[in-house]
């Protein structure tokens, strides 16, 4: 499955929480940079062509290539940083290499060790990849829905 954020069906939760939430926000017309979800490593020229056509519609803007493994984030754990992300991808060759490396990263030792430690096994999880247009942000931040520094409830927004 290779779908634009705007094409992803609400039942496609198997694409991982990152891809799913970004797609649902885009469909709700929130200001989410354009994106695409890949549920498998493209093998055919047709698949690669669909990706390149989508990118051309984005004016070949620099892309982020990001992992979105199923079960990567949950209430109990987050796999942040365990699978690879590539930023400012600007050529077709670099895009293909980044997509391939991102899919392979689920098998990296760091990712396997994390799963072993927190899940009790190195079981492979389905990997999906998000392609998303890069933006020039004035600010960057992290939002925690529960304050991680205190035992009390409350949200925290940290800008930098």
Chain segment 84-106, per-residue pLDDT in tens: 789 999 999 999 999 999 888 77
pTM over 0.85: no
CB 128 within 8 A of CB 37: yes
**Beta strand pairing status for 129-133 and 85-89?**
unpaired
Least Cα distance to 89 among 20, 16, 36 occurs for: 36
* Mean confidence (pLDDT) of the chain: 80
SS3 105: helix
Per run of 10 residues, the mean pLDDT along the chain (length 160 residues) is 88 80 91 92 94 96 86 53 83 96 74 58 73 86 65 64
Model pLDDT, residue 19: 85
Q: How far apart are CA 88 and CA 77, in angstroms?
A: 28
């Amino acid at each position: 499955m290779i779908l634009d954020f705007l094409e992803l069906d609400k039942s496609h939760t198997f694409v991982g929480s990152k891809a799913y939430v970004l797609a649902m926000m885009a469909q709700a017309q929130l200001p989410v940079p354009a994106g695409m979800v890949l549920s498998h490593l493209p093998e055919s020229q047709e698949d690669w062509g669909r990706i390149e056509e989508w990118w051309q519609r984005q004016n070949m803007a620099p892309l982020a290539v990001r992992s979105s493994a199923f079960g990567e984030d949950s209430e109990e754990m987050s796999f942040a940083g365990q699978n690879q992300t590539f930023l400012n991808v600007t050529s077709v060759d670099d895009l293909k290499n980044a997509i391939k490396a991102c899919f392979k990263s689920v098998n990296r030792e760091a990712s396997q060790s994390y799963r072993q430690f927190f899940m009790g096994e190195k079981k492979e999880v389905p990997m999906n990849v998000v392609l998303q247009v890069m933006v020039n942000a004035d600010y960057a931040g992290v939002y925690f829905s529960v304050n991680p520094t205190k035992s009390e409830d409350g949200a925290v927004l940290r800008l930098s």
